[in-house]
Copies of this chain bind each other. A is one copy, B any other.
Amino acid sequence: MPRSPTTLDAFSAVGEPRRRDILDLLARGERSVTDVVQALKLTQPQASKHLGVLRKVGLVRVRGAGQQRLYSLNADGLRPIHDWVKTFERLWGERLDRLDQYLQQLQTQEKPNGGSE
């Protein structure tokens, strides 16, 4: 089994800095491809391709307006990422009271080794 594609889910799509830039831009409103090109200094094909990936994984939506294609953010697609990262939130001590901290320590030390004897 050689390799698995890295452009099929939101997680991997967002791994690409350019695509994050695009999402940041779209977070401020709908944009045409040309807008993206100019705002982020990309070539037109690059913009189209990145937008295509983002669309495929459901992070953006398209709407045809004349000969333009207006892309907008589909923030829902980011929820899985948010939810996953949130799982670790308690582990970096966001707003941690003493008891939580203590319970956490217990968990961290839960399995110091594979010692079966």
Q: A88 contacts which of B23, B32, B85 (Cβ < 8 Å)?
A: B23
How many copies make up the complex?
2
The residues of B that contact A113 with a CB separation of less than 8 Å are: 32, 65, 68, 70
Interface string of A18-47 (1 = CB under 8 A from B): 001001100111111011000000000000
Determine whether the beta carbon of B107 is less than 8 Å from that of A20.
no
In the complex formed, the residue of B with least CB distance to A86 is: B82
Q: Given A28-B110, A30-B109, A32-B113, list of 7 further CB < 8 A pairs?
A: A6-B15, A11-B14, A20-B84, A30-B111, A31-B111, A78-B85, A85-B85
**Can you list the 9 inter-chain pairs with the closest CB atoms, starting with the nearest?**
A15-B15, A75-B91, A12-B15, A29-B110, A75-B92, A82-B85, A29-B111, A75-B88, A11-B15
